Chains A and B, each alone.
Chain A
Amino acid sequence: MRKSELAHQPITVLRELFRDGSFEPEDLLDCLLENIRRYESKIHAYLHMVPEHTLREQARDASKELKNFGSRPLTGIFMAIKDNTYVSGLPCTAGSKILEGYIPLKDATAVSRLREQGAVFLGKTNLDEFAAFGIATNNPHFGRTFNPWNLGRIPGGSSGGSAAAVSAGEAVAATGSDTGGSVRIPASFCNLVGLKPTFGRISRSGTITMSWTLDHFGVIARTVRDASVLYEAMSGKDASDSSTLNSPELERSAFADDPPDLFGIKLGIFSNPIRASDDGVMSCFDESVRVLSEAGARIRSIELPDVEHITPAIFAIALSEVAAYHEEWFRTRREDYADTLRGYVQLGHTILATEYLKAQRARATIVERVSRKLAEVDVLLVPTNPSVAPELNQEFVEIRGKRYPAFQVLTENTYPFNLLGLPAMTIPNGFSNGLPVGLQLVCSHWKEDLLFKVGDCYQQLTDYHKKTPAVPL
């Protein structure tokens, strides 16, 4: 392998290369910094970078650790962190003017756990303002991020900076937050794996809130195995995030190197999603079902109950919680918000308390009914997005001859699983018109190991995830 290829290698491969002495973390850093120099002015993935001399020092320390003491699971793995999550000593703006200049003095819990495992952080990535109601990573204060696969397309959002950085070889992996699809949408548009675990599996402490009961912490990685490594590193109870306190013991994933099969696994095709997908996406989806079926999985259609109630419930909850979180700043710094979020905060103030509580009671009911139905299969399959990444200023997406607002259509396959708190993961699933398409895997609460098993099997049988973009210079 050439040194220049290191930046696009998965964590699992890098660990082997470091262990057998083929390369050192300093080589990886050289490669990442070279890509940042070449591509960053084109894609604008980062908002803040750690100074190069600090990174080089950390790379040297990682190399020493590998030589002298053995290593931790993430020693010398350079990651990017979404800029709504605390990294001690680095700015945390959440893509807002409100928090401009804010430098937290401690790490978020998830970041702290990654650091304990040896991970090194390159910088903070771009996002929509406060990660709220955005799918384009078109930040009104700090500029937009561009999709490395096609600079005329959005990277997805709100964790678009994280996805673009990994996709362009500017980071090995990245973190994100996901309130309605903000990890899975950009991962899908940038041909990456994006995992949103069960609500309560990874602490949100130290991540700026959008919605207390819908926010999930997630990861963006090149492979399912990498996502699993990062998930295991960050998971666990945390007294500072009560959503984690009921989480059961982690089932650690063991991946077999034998020829993969899925005999005994029941897969369900989600037959009544809110929105049908376009032909290009469905062609990729049908092919994935064929591949998984040939691997031994039993496939059946599955209709989830109460789907028609998901949209009003999630909007009532998200708008209310956004308005409540921002109330004080909205009173005192109203002009520092961009128009879009300022509008949503105002809409949130019109939701009645009784409407909010009805939505949360309906949610509890829907979770119970869907969970019962979902128990009939191991993993549910649905396209991550009904279409590929839209053009930069495209406001409407056409699907099967009808035009829909882009924000609406691009979140309708992802936000149901935030409302339901179910684990969901997108994996690369081919290309339509040269743009990446994602396959979303969903399973019952706390059963992430099933997502990893099916997703890893699929990645051993396909090579979509090995393709990288040729960013124009």
Chain B
Amino acid sequence: MNLDLAKKLVAHSEGLELDLRVLEQNEVLLDSVSAGVLNLNKLQIPHETEPFTITLPASSQHRKPSSKD
């Protein structure tokens, strides 16, 4: 999320009361994470790839969708 979007979140963060100053002070970090995540598209993640979960896959082969799904 970039800072502009984060500002909108702050406006709706009832209960959490996010502090806009903290987000502004960390704008460089926020922007670099946001840009870096966008840049992950360059990895060309295979469409069948599932998110890494709490359990490390037993093999490096990703499960592909089957007729049972």
Contacts and interface: CB of A to CB of B under 8 A. Distances in A.
B56 A347 contact: no
A363 interface: yes
B33 A315 contact: yes
A355 B45 contact: no
Interface residues of A, number: 46
Contacts of B15: 331
B11 interface: no
A213 B54 CA distance: 5
Contacts of A350: 1, 5-6, 9, 18, 23, 30
A150 to B, nearest CB: 30
A50 interface: no
Contact of A213 (B6, B18, B39, B53): B53
A365 B43 contact: yes
A377 interface: no
Contacts of A360: 51-53
Interface in A186-206: 198-200
A364 B43 contact: no
A42 B13 CA distance: 44
Contacts of B26: 343, 347
B53 to A, nearest CB: 7
Interface string B25-69: 110011011111101101101100111111111101010000000
A355 B52 contact: no
Contacts of B17: 334
A379 interface: no
Name which of A315, A327, A347, A367 has the most chain B CB atoms within 10 A of its CB.
Answer: A347
Contacts of B43: 306, 309, 362, 365-366
Given A309-B39, A331-B16, A351-B33, A372 B54 contact: no
Nearest to A357: B51
A355 B33 CA distance: 9
A87 to B, nearest CB: 24
A274 B26 CA distance: 21
Nearest to B19: A346
Contacts of B52: 213, 360-361, 363-364, 367
Interface string A295-327: 000000000001001011101100100000001
A363 B66 CA distance: 23
B60 A243 contact: no
Contact of B54 (A212, A319, A366): A212
A312 B22 contact: no
Contacts of B35: 312
Contacts of A309: 36, 39-40, 42-43
A358 interface: yes
A361 B49 contact: yes
A362 B45 contact: yes
Contacts of A199: 56
Interface in A220-250: 242-243, 245-246
Interface in A106-125: none
Contact of B56 (A306, A312, A421): A421
A242 B56 contact: no
Nearest to A355: B37
Given A199-B56, A343-B22, A361-B45, A349 B32 contact: no
Contacts of B22: 342-343, 346-347
B21 to A, nearest CB: 10
A345 B1 CA distance: 15
Contact of B23 (A242, A330, A346): A346
A44 interface: no
A316 B50 contact: no
Given A312-B40, A361-B51, A346 B18 contact: yes
Interface string A356-400: 011111111111100110000000000000000000000000000
A352 interface: yes
Interface of B: 1, 5-6, 9, 13, 15-19, 22-23, 25-26, 29-30, 32-37, 39-40, 42-43, 45-46, 49-58, 60, 62
10 contacts: A312-B37, A315-B33, A327-B16, A331-B16, A346-B22, A349-B16, A349-B18, A358-B40, A360-B52, A364-B57
Given A246-B55, A364-B52, 10 more contacts: A245-B55, A311-B36, A312-B35, A313-B40, A319-B33, A350-B30, A351-B1, A359-B37, A361-B52, A364-B49
